[in-house]
Amino acid sequence: MQRIQLAEDIQPLSEFRANVASFIEKVRKTKRPLVITQRGKSAAIMMDVVEYEKLIEKLELLTDIHIAESQLKRGEGISHEEAKNQISGKIKK
């Protein structure tokens, strides 16, 4: 996902309503999210579907890493050799 360009990617709700199709096309083309404001404050973000899916995948991976690190700190991990043996055993079956 590209970084937001403040001069181009923040639009008031009234402008968004008047030009929905062009803003959707711009988001698809640039891969940058669009911040929509209401009464001068950020209210919503519109982003490309593919970029959203990539963001969710990254978030899920980071969550998995955080969980794994917490488990290791609690001593719930297994050694590399034990993991290798478990995987080898499943492959052979």
Q: Domain limits at 37?
A: 10-47
- Beta-carbon contacts of residue 55 (< 8 Å; ≥ 6 apart): 1, 47
Averaged pLDDT for residues 17-42: 96
In a domain, 1, yes or no: no
pLDDT digits (tens, 9 = 90+) for 33-48: 999 999 999 999 999 9
70 vs 90, which has greater pLDDT? 70
| Cβ atoms < 10 Å from Cβ of 45 | 13
In Å, what is the CA distance from 5 to each residue of 24, 30, 34, 41, 63?
Answer: 16, 10, 9, 17, 28
**Res 42: pLDDT:** 96
Same domain, 55 and 36: no
End-to-end Cα separation, the chain, in angstroms: 42
In a domain, 39, yes or no: yes
- Cα separation of 29 and 16, whole Å? 17
Same domain, 39 and 61: no
Where do we find the tokens 């950020």?
Answer: 42
User: Would you say residue 93 has pLDDT above 70?
Assistant: no
Instruction: State the DSSP H helix or E strand holding residue 38, giving kind and residue range, or none if neither.
Output: strand 34-38
Same domain, 41 and 62: no
Domains in the chain, number:
2
Same domain, 18 and 35: yes
Same domain, 36 and 70: no
Q: Is this model's pTM higher than 0.75 or not?
A: no
User: Would you say residue 27 has pLDDT above 90?
Assistant: yes
Q: How confident is the model at residue 78 (pLDDT cuts 50, 70, 90)?
A: confident
**Res 33: pLDDT:** 97
